[in-house]
């Protein structure tokens, strides 16, 4: 049955990726903004991961009051804060914190939410009813308040923030994967596999899961953007990782009182946060068009 899936999927992807002169080909072709977004995400990730070895990235905790409140220049690209710390350096290490937390959270959400969504969409009946009810209850809670409740109860730290954001990502992922599973569970190759006596585990993980993976990855990219903003919101409210670990949200709130005089302290990390979230959204939107995710969920 896997060969049947490949036979159906390869021509579709080939037609999608082909540089056809028609309107559909132009609409599906990746835009310049999409490639710029990919370059930004890759560049930011590499700089964040290898920050310790880069010559233009310094110690984010090093203070020097002589250089306090320096505006952006060739020496300090993003300027300095009230303690003379390099804002560019702190933004880079803040990217490491945000990307790590959001990445771990979305992986946990994919593992738990994806599994539950597959089971609910395939077996239906009581499992689907209970799952749908639980998802509706979870989505009824305001996301930020739920995250604040978790971090306020368990304390501040990377593990606590990852747990809070993972909980926020599970319910939407269950809904997306369940919807996709419902679509593919009625396809011919799945019905044929069942007719040939294939076990449920084989049908789920060999026939349905490979077709659901594109929607999971697409939602994961969009979810990363949402979780990065959520982590920044928690940091802004003082409920993220503890000081002195730099985070974008904490940097923004730190410069807020002097925003009129020393605008760069808040605006620079805001711009990095904005460009990162925008890039993830653009790439996720392009992938959703490429794999017709919205159409299949309609």
What is the CA 78 to chain-centroid distance, rounded?
A: 26
- Please, which pLDDT band fits residue 295 given cuts at 50, 70 and 90? very low
What is the 8-class DSSP label of residue 156?
Answer: S
The helix or strand, by DSSP H or E, that contains position 61, with its residue range, turns out to be: none
**Tokens representing residue 123 in the block:** 């077996």
In angstroms, the CA 173 to CA 184 distance is: 17
- Please, which pLDDT band fits residue 247 given cuts at 50, 70 and 90? confident
Mean pLDDT for 132-144 is 86
| Burial letters 173-197, b for 16+ CB under 10 A, else e | bbbbbbbbbbebbebebbeebbeee
143-195 residue pLDDT tens: 888 888 888 888 778 888 899 999 989 988 998 888 888 888 888 888 888 78
Instruction: Please give the pLDDT value at position 26.
Output: 45
- Residue the block writes with tokens 């990919």: 38
99, 157 in Cβ contact below 8 A?
A: no
Q: Taking every pair of C-alpha atoms in the chain, what is the biggest distance, in angstroms?
A: 77
Domain range 45-297, its CATH number among 2.40.10.10, 3.40.50.2000, 1.10.645.10, 1.10.3720.10: 1.10.3720.10
- Please, which pLDDT band fits residue 5 given cuts at 50, 70 and 90? very low
**Tokens representing residue 164 in the block:** 């809070």
The domains of the chain are located at 45-297
What is the CA 20 to chain-centroid distance, rounded?
A: 31
């Amino acid at each position: 049955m896997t060969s049947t899936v490949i036979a159906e999927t390869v021509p579709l992807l080939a037609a999608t990726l082909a540089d056809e002169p028609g309107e559909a080909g132009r609409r599906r072709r990746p835009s310049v903004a999409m490639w710029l977004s990919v370059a930004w995400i890759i560049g930011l990730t590499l700089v964040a991961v290898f920050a310790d070895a880069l010559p233009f990235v310094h110690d984010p905790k090093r203070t020097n009051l002589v250089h306090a409140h320096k505006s952006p220049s060739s020496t300090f690209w993003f300027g300095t804060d009230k303690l003379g710390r390099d804002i560019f350096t702190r933004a880079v290490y803040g990217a490491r914190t945000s990307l790590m937390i959001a990445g771990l959270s979305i992986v946990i959400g994919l593992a738990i939410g994806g599994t539950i969504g597959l089971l609910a969409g395939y077996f239906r009946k009581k499992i689907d009813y209970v799952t749908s009810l639980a998802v509706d209850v979870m989505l009824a809670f305001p996301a930020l308040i739920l995250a604040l409740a978790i971090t306020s109860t368990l304390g501040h730290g990377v593990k606590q923030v990852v747990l809070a954001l993972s909980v926020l990502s599970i319910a939407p992922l269950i809904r997306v994967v369940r919807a996709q599973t419902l679509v593919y569970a009625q396809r011919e190759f799945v019905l044929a596999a069942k007719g040939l006596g294939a076990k449920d585990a084989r049908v789920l993980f060999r026939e349905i899961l490979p077709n659901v993976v594109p929607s999971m990855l697409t939602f994961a990219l969009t979810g990363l953007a949402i979780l990065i903003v959520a982590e920044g919101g928690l940091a802004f409210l003082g409920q993220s990782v503890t000081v002195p670990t730099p985070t974008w949200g904490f940097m923004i709130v730190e410069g807020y009182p002097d925003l009129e005089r020393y605008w760069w302290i808040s605006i620079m990390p805001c711009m990095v946060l904005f460009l990162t979230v925008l890039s993830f959204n653009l790439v996720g939107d392009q992938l959703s068009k490429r794999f017709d995710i919205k159409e299949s969920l309609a």
